[in-house]
Amino acid sequence: MYNVFFSHILEKVTLNEQEKQKIITYFIAKKLRKKEFLLKEGEICRYLSFVEKGLLKSYNVDPKGIEHVNMFALEGWWSSDIYSFFTGEKAIFYIDAIQDSEILMITLSDFEKMTLEIPIMDRYFRILFQNSLVTKEHRLLSSVTYSAKEKYSNLFQSNPELIQRVPQNLIASYLGITPETLSRVKKEITKQR
């Protein structure tokens, strides 16, 4: 159950057996069925969740009712509305399962306890957030720099697994384009070859 979890953490910091056992006590395991919600807009996001198995998406619905995918979370990724989680304010994102999933969740108070008890977890999350920040920065840059076609090509290169596992309309939403445009873009690209 904690295989993916610890292998992911141990990529960034080292933990002894005792620390591992302690960490496990802070987390709650949960299974999510496809289409089941982990969070809805307007709720307070109570958990920071690690995806052990499956695939989640977090997305926002704008005033026109259009969905915008914020991020996907494959195995080994974390998912949450971190603004809501850390501040206790209302969430702006929905989170649900694209495939049946198994997740590990921690509450804010347990997160605080854990990081104070095991300071190296602050280091882990510092590195995690730092890397996420880089990814977001690149995505933001990409979104203002590239055409629809280039955005899709870039994603195809950098994250082919996502394209295989996620329906096309969600990929479009993630890229900030319409499903129609993505369809045309794909046609264009295959025509070129």
Q: Which has the closest alpha carbon to 75: 106, 100, 40, 43?
A: 100
Q: Per rule CB under 7 A, is residue 162 in the interface with DNA?
A: no
CB nearer to its own copies: pick between 36 and 112 = 112
Q: Per rule CB under 7 A, is residue 168 in the interface with DNA?
A: yes
> Buried (b) or exposed (e) across 124-141, using 16+ Cβ within 10 A?
bbeebeeeeeeeeeebee
Residue with tokens 């602050």: 122
The pattern of x and - marking residues 79 through 118 that bind DNA according to CB under 7 A reads ----------------------------------------
Q: Per rule CB under 8 A, is residue 86 in the interface with its own copies?
A: yes
- Count the residues in the chain: 193
**Helix axis angle, 168-175 to 148-158, nearest 10°:** 110
Q: Which has the closest alpha carbon to 112: 26, 8, 43?
A: 26
Q: Per rule CB under 8 A, is residue 154 in the interface with its own copies?
A: no
CB nearer to its own copies: pick between 34 and 126 = 126
Number of residues that bind DNA (CB under 7 A): 19
Structure-token pair, residue 107: 């509450």
- Residues 80, 88: Cα–Cα separation, whole Å: 12
Q: How far is the CB of 61 from DNA (least distance, A)?
A: 14
The pattern of x and - marking residues 111 through 150 that bind its own copies according to CB under 8 A reads ----x---xx-xx-xx--xx-xxx-xxxxxx-xxx-----
Give the residues lining the site for DNA (CB under 7 A): 64, 66, 147-149, 167-169, 176-184, 186-187
